[in-house]
Structure 1
Amino acid sequence: MSDFFFPRLEAVEAPAPWRLCTRWSTGEVLEVDVEGVLRATPPLAPILDPAVFATARLAEGGQGIEWFDEEFGADNVYAWAQEQAGAVSHQMFGEWMHRNGLSLSTAAEALGISRRMVSYYRTAHKAIPRAIWLACLGWEATRPQARSLPRRLPTAREYAALHR
C-alpha cells in the first residue's frame, strides 16, 4: 500500500473489545468497531476473545493491524472507520463504479468531474464529498441512457419497480 493512495496507520489501540482507536498520517483519529467482521469470518474467531483482541498492534510500516497470524489491512480499516463515522469510503465509491459497470472515464462523464478526480476518490487519495456521493446515488437511480440529464427523478414506486 503506497502513501500516495492511502493514509498510513500510525498508531492503534484496543480500548474495548472489538473497538479500535486508530491514528492516521492525515492527522485523523478514528474509532472503528470490527465485531461484525470478526463474527462474519470464522478464521478470525480467536480474536473475539477480549484478551487476544487487546493485543492488537501496528503492523510493520503502518500496513495494517496484527494479532498473531491474523491481520486487517490498513486500507480496509480506514474504509470501515470512514463509513462508521458517516463518511463515504473509497470502497463504497469503487463498489458503485463496479455495480454500474463504469470505467474512470464513464464515471467522470456521469458525475461531470474529471477522470483524475474519479481516480483520487476510488483510491482514497482525496475525501469523497457528500455531494459527489449523492450524485452517484442519483445517477444510479435514474441511469441516464442519453448524454443529457433526466428531467425528473422516478417516484419511490417507479424506482422500486425498476430495481426488483
Structure 2
Amino acid sequence: MNKPPLIRAVKAQPPLTLVITWSTGETLPVDVSRLVRRYKLYGPLRDPAHFRKAKADAWGHAVQWPGDVDMGADPLYEMAREQAGEWGPERFAAWMARHDLSLNTAAEALGLSRRTMAHYRTGSRPIPHVVALACEALSARWAAKAA
C-alpha cells in the first residue's frame, strides 16, 4: 500500500472486536480475539473493562490501551479487510497451498511476476481485487477439470 490508512476513530465491542473508522472513509469491524489469545502481551485485553478502553493514538498509527498495550494500524487494517471477505496474505498463501503452487507456478498461472507473488504472500503489497477474482476463477477451472 503506498499510503497506509490511518485510524480516525475506534470503538471496542464485546467480546474482542474493534470497529475502526479509517482515513479511507471505511468503517470496518475487526475481531482481534486470535491476537489476544495468541500473544501474552495482549493478556490484559481479556478483561472486558480493559478492552473497552481502546482509543486511537494521536497520530492514527495504532489502537492503544492503558498499560502500554497497542496494536498497529497496518495489521489491523489488513485483518479487517480479510475478515470483510477480501483477499489478504493469509488467504493468498492458503490458495497457493491448496493448489500446491510455488511462487513460480502461481506467477505463471496468474501471468504475473514471481516477485509480485512474494509481495502478495507476505502482505507487503495489497492484493488487487482483479487478482483475487483471477485466483477464484482458476480454482473453479481447476476443480471443474478434476471432476
TM above 0.5, yes or no, is yes
Identity %: 35
1:65, CA displacement in angstroms? Answer: 1.3
Shift of 1:49: 0.5
Q: Residue in 2 aligned with 1:36?
A: 34
C-alpha displacement of 1:84: 1.7
1:134 aligned partner, one-letter code: E
Please tell me whether the aligned partners of residues 88 and 126 of structure 2 are also in contact (alpha carbons under 8 angstroms): no
Describe the SS at the equivalent of 1:27.
coil
Unaligned runs of 5+ in 1: 143-151, 156-164
Inter-partner Cα distance in structure 2 for 1:83 and 1:89: 6
Q: How many residues align?
A: 141
- Shift of the 32–74 alpha-carbon distance from structure 1 to 2, 3 Å rule, reads same
> Which residue in 2 is equivalent to 1:128?
129
Q: What SS does the corresponding residue of 1:26 show, helix, strand or coil?
A: coil
Q: C-alpha separation between the residues in 2 aligned to 1:7 and 1:44? A: 23
Structure 2 residue runs of 5 or longer lacking an equivalent are none
Please name the residue that 1:73 is paired with: 72
- For 1:136 and 1:115, locate their aligned partners in 2 and report how far apart those are by CA, in whole Å: 17
Aligned partners of 2:117, 2:3: CA distance in 1, in Å? Answer: 13
CA contact (8 A) 2:18 2:31 kept: yes
Compared with structure 1, are the counterparts of its residues 138 and 60 closer, same or farther at alpha carbon in structure 2 (3 Å cutoff)? farther
Q: How far off its partner does 1:153 sit?
A: 3.0
Does the aligned pair in 1 maintain the 2:110–2:135 contact within 8 Å? no
TM-score, structure 2 as length reference: 0.70
Return the TM-score normalized by structure 1: 0.64
